[in-house]
Structure 1
Amino acid sequence: MNILSLVAALIIILAGAEAFTNALEHLGDRLGISEGVTGSIFAAVGTALPETMVPIVAVFAVTSGQPAHLGEEVGVGAILGAPMMLSTLTLFVMALFVSPQRGWRGALNPEPTGLRRDLGWFLVAFGLSAIALFVPHHITLVRIGIGLVLVTLYFLYVMVTLRASAALVADGHGTEAGHALYLGRIGLPTQMPAILIQLAIGLGMIVFGASLFVDGIEGLSHWLGISALILSLLLVPVATELPEKINSILWIRRRKDTLAFANITGALVFQGSLLPAIGVLLTPWSPSPPVLLGAGLTLLAGGYTYLLVRRGVTLRPYHFLFNGACYGAYFFALT
């Protein structure tokens, strides 16, 4: 039954992601914004809804009388597990799916300034989040200060990204819709109301499918006897990051490399700042060996990718074998 639920959830997510990316391309085209803004902000925040719910549920479990250690494990694990998944497995899977089309040495051509900006902001925010793990829970003012800084960092990032959009559009990096709006095929005019309706339908399918997938993963983990921490660090992010993976795979196979990468790196900034702010402010945000290893590998994979972009290296699928190896090392270390 769990397997059937997982398959059904995957089909729902695939269909929702197809509708969502199609509508998002039309929205970006209609608004005249860059591919970086479309991917890094609109797509990233929209597809981050499933993983945002996991730590909120964990916090609710603590405040409603569940064991505090369980809420800490699930909350910290889910918050730190999401960026780890994006910086390691998601980038690797995207490269894996594009390799039959372009080869392992084929060039990937995302717009470099936006990619460098996203990764730089992520490393600063996530590094601060990792440092916050060592701040004792009773030092309330420091934890509140760190949480507020993380929230501020994200909104500053959004402002900087929006400000860069006009110049990128002028340089030919504007969002362009590659296919007709799907709702337009049933007679609706390709206007903003139809675009927003399709966007909402696609996003709703993604959130519902991801929720169904998480339920299936949790059922399997309970059957296998996996702990809450390993579940939240390894298995739940696999499910909740499916929207980002699928959106980026769809875009990169259509040679929309900037959208594909920006969807991932924009989600990294969101999940490396706002989600840890929830953890710092509302959970016992404390370290453990699996959490520290995960945070370290996330910074290693993110820093490695940032250095590639910073040095002007032409990105190729084989570069992301290292990111996949980071996830593989973490998986085997925990299992």
Structure 2
Amino acid sequence: MSDVEAVRFDLRPYHAMRALAGLWVALALIDWPGVGCWLTAALYVCAAYYTRTHRTGWPADVEDFLAKRGWALPRNIPETVDRHPPIPFRPMTVPELYRGAGKIVLRNWPTLVGVPAVIHTGFVLALAAIAYVVGQIMGSRQTASMLLGADGDLRPGAAVLMLMIFMVLCAVVLPGDGLLISLGAQAADKAVRGERIRFDEMFHRAKQSKLAVCRLIIAYYLIGAALLLIQITAVFSGFYIALMPVVVVCGVASLVIGIMLSIAPVVLVLEQRGIADSFRRSIELCKSAVGRILVVNLVWIAGVAPVVMLSKVTWAVVVIASPVVCGVVRCVQMLAYADLRMRQGDYGQELRTDWARNTGGEELAGG
């Protein structure tokens, strides 16, 4: 059987863009009327026109994935090898770090943008379903009487319902976040070593470590929650003035701990450590560069702020921008880890050697 006979449908990028445009039009007409859906649909129509007129094909890894399943005709276009590394193999400045993250995302968008787009869409659908169910429950008079007393006070049943909703949200969000962190760290690591990134392979590897990352995230949040609980207790204890130093100390401690543990997920994924050991290793790497890590994080937070503000105008901004933001931020975190290791050892030489070996070129000169 020839390749043409084995293909059920030759799916091209413009077909996918048309399907997504149709989906958003359907949502606008049926369930979510508003400018956001129409704007998103218009962007996908423009993308479909561009990819068709320019005969844009799939990246090699996506094409292989589709061809193996009979969803696209293999065109066997030779894959070009990029001889230019995304980062200098030495300690980086903050702009170099972000430029490197941008290069990695542009070169590997099916993995670092496409997968987050699918997962974020799943988040939106799951949250919409939860909101609908909660609305139906709260709209029932019988349920409302069970949750609210005659004077409008919340009954114990309300606390149980809120706890259940919170647990469902955690069950949806945390594994997805763990998957994205693992995916971003491993893909960025392979990119700076010059290895080929196959999105199906990376997705499979990320799934294997997502639960470990999820547990680390939970431990991280519990530390922050404990400090916040101390602050709340101090504020409402009746001795607020006397306990003001405790509130301030806990606030500063939350900031410092957040910085010192910020690369612990990357450590867990790339160095295959346990939760406690990942925290310890993160502190060891960050303790001499607290100010630098703070600046790196403030830069991406400042970049995300306009997106959050624009999302108040239309949520379509979040749908379009969030996968790109996610891909860049995850790469930045991995490159911050690599930068710290290069400042404290010969990690840069290790990356340089791997890049030369995997790209088939001569080893790059240092500096």
TM-score past 0.5 threshold: no
Q: Structure 1 or 2: larger helix share?
A: 1
Higher relative contact order (CA 8 A, sep 6+): 1
What TM-score, normalized by structure 1, do the two folds share? Answer: 0.27
